[in-house]
Structure 1
């Protein structure tokens, strides 16, 4: 369990990087960032695939179908929906919705457990989840207040935004929440059903499965942009060197290495606990945001962070106690 928690922490720290890319590349459409990120992920995955080719070719047809589903929903659809939701509704509302993922995943995993051993009594799970939810509300509430006071960037401009834009952005971001609720649950179940499947092999397989989907999406966006006369300079945009560099960095660290670490965590931890540990991504994104701002978090944010950490620690204790009881009963 300790190794699994460390792996989840590492994945969260790396996944937090993806929230920086739209800030550094504010003049690039969200869909382009999603497709480019996963093209980079797929190209990077070709390298470990060469060294791991024996296990890659040994994967069954069912494994590749699962990898394609996970790549489509948990990679492309999630990040495209998140980026588009931020553009339509501005950053605060999507951030609040995405911040509920640790609670939503834990509840869904406990409602529909993949194995009886993953079920935890609601009375035991309620307190950690309530504390995590309170921490997320404090953190996101502070961010909402901060962003209302800040001037909008060109891509997140509130000028001309209508209530319909906000509603559509909310709906699309809920799609991102649904995608990333489904992904860790189904990914964890596939890994637990195939314990001999190496985490590195599975991360590489998802990268290989993502590559053709991302290439098709990127080409489709280019065609649409050409036909509609869009302003984006397809394919590499106005700052190609920075764009390529950031995409390669998050493709390697956030996508491939982050997926590898998360697979390790999924194999070692109950799904409900792993869902709570996605809170590390929220904390990492928050840390990186304040580093970019060059400012200290306000007291409300620090209080929320403390509540998030307390909720995670209580969740670890609950699942550890449940596992010890199950072992003693056996």
Structure 2
């Protein structure tokens, strides 16, 4: 349990970097940021695949198809929606919308998988979820108050919609990924992270080609293939591809093999907290009191949730024998 929580914490600290990436290159479209990140992830994974080639050969065709689905929805589609949302609403608002994932994933996993792995009692879980919701509300309110004077309503609402789509993608991804890992305990989490990276590469290459064609048509003045600031864009994509994609996925896979799926949801909040911390570091300012109160609620809610023990699975007995 402790090792699983620590791996989830490490993943959250690395994933939090994705919320400031779009702010460092605001002139780049979200689609280019997404395919750039996962092109870097794919290249890194291919380099690592040679070292892990013997384990990768043990993956079946069905496993590779699962890796393809996971990377399409949980990587490319998710980050495209998230990067676009951040550029439209600002990092804190998008971060906190993504921060609803602990609640959404916990409820979904408890409903879908609780009977297989042990359900968390709703009576014990509700106080933790309530604290998380209050925390998310506090931070959202604080950010909306500070940004109200320069919000463009149509752009803001489209950003909210994109963030909701990102939430849907990343509700599906960690639950599906965790179920595969728990169903295949003999497979190494690092191998599965590398497999997802290898599966990402052809998708990212195709995506890069399509995005380049679209930009050449809609924004002919945009400098291709690496945009107006390649000296910033290329190292940023490599750093996000390494830390947020491969290493973050590796740590998360390690956590998923050690923890029940119903506990995966609350630990997603580490990503939200890290994203907020990095955002305020980039702003070079302290969070307002309401934001700090919200963060405290988030932390307390997660601590309560991870201390709840799943109820034992009750199997029916055959009394006829």
The interval holding the TM-score normalised by the smaller chain is: over 0.9
Given the alignment, which residue of 206, 222, 243 partners 1:253? 243
List, as ranges, runs of 4+ consecutive aligned residues in structure 1 with deviation greater than 4 Å: 88-93
Task: Return the alpha-carbon distance in structure 2 between the equivalents of residues 92 and 2 of structure 1.
Answer: 29
Task: Return the alpha-carbon distance in structure 2 between the equivalents of residues 26 and 88 of structure 1.
Answer: 10
After superposing the two structures, state which structure 1 stretch, 219-228 or 3-12, moved more.
Answer: 219-228
Task: Return the alpha-carbon distance in structure 1 between the equivalents of residues 62 and 279 of structure 2.
Answer: 40
Displacement of 1:123 in angstroms is 1.2
Q: What number of residue pairs does the alignment pair up?
A: 314
Given the alignment, which residue of 249, 262, 268 partners 2:258? 268
Label 1:110 to 1:261 Cα distance change in 2 as closer, same or farther (>3 A). Answer: same
Given the alignment, which residue of 263, 282, 294 partners 2:272? 282
After superposing the two structures, state which structure 1 stretch, 98-107 or 109-118, moved more.
Answer: 109-118
Q: Normalization by structure 1: what TM-score?
A: 0.90
Residues 104 and 181 in structure 1, CA contact (< 8 A), matched pair in contact too: yes
Displacement of 1:309 in angstroms is 1.0
Residues 139 and 291 in structure 2, CA contact (< 8 A), matched pair in contact too: yes
Displacement of 1:147 in angstroms is 2.7
Task: Return the alpha-carbon distance in structure 2 between the equivalents of residues 147 and 229 of structure 1.
Answer: 29
The answer for the alignment partner of 1:206 in structure 2 is: 196
Label 1:209 to 1:57 Cα distance change in 2 as closer, same or farther (>3 A). Answer: same
Label 1:184 to 1:258 Cα distance change in 2 as closer, same or farther (>3 A). Answer: same
Displacement of 1:295 in angstroms is 1.4
Label 1:285 to 1:166 Cα distance change in 2 as closer, same or farther (>3 A). Answer: closer
Residues 118 and 271 in structure 1, CA contact (< 8 A), matched pair in contact too: no
Given the alignment, which residue of 171, 178, 182 partners 1:188? 178
After superposing the two structures, state which structure 1 stretch, 118-127 or 198-207, moved more.
Answer: 118-127
Matches within 5 A, 1:311-330: 311-319=301-309, 322=310
Deviations 1:106-165 (A, max 9, x none): 01111111752242121121111111111111122212222335x6xxxxxx5xx553x4
Q: Normalization by structure 2: what TM-score?
A: 0.92
The answer for the alignment partner of 2:210 in structure 1 is: 220
The answer for the alignment partner of 1:301 in structure 2 is: 291
Label 1:26 to 1:294 Cα distance change in 2 as closer, same or farther (>3 A). Answer: same
Matches within 5 A, 1:61-140: 61-89=61-89, 91=91, 93-113=93-113, 116-140=116-140
Task: Return the alpha-carbon distance in structure 1 between the equivalents of residues 18 and 33 of structure 2.
Answer: 10
Task: Return the alpha-carbon distance in structure 2 between the equivalents of residues 234 and 206 of structure 1.
Answer: 27
Matches within 5 A, 1:50-61: 50-61=50-61
Displacement of 1:95 in angstroms is 3.5
Task: Return the alpha-carbon distance in structure 2 between the equivalents of residues 133 and 265 of structure 1.
Answer: 24
Label 1:144 to 1:19 Cα distance change in 2 as closer, same or farther (>3 A). Answer: same
Flag structure 1 segments of 5+ consecutive residues without an equivalent.
Answer: 152-157
Task: Return the alpha-carbon distance in structure 1 between the equivalents of residues 285 and 83 of structure 2.
Answer: 25
Task: Return the alpha-carbon distance in structure 2 between the equivalents of residues 5 and 108 of structure 1.
Answer: 20
Residues 35 and 208 in structure 2, CA contact (< 8 A), matched pair in contact too: yes
The answer for the alignment partner of 1:10 in structure 2 is: 10
Task: Return the alpha-carbon distance in structure 2 between the equivalents of residues 170 and 299 of structure 1.
Answer: 24
The answer for the alignment partner of 1:19 in structure 2 is: 19
Label 1:90 to 1:23 Cα distance change in 2 as closer, same or farther (>3 A). Answer: closer
In angstroms, what is the RMSD of aligned CA positions? 1.9
After superposing the two structures, state which structure 1 stretch, 11-20 or 223-232, moved more.
Answer: 223-232
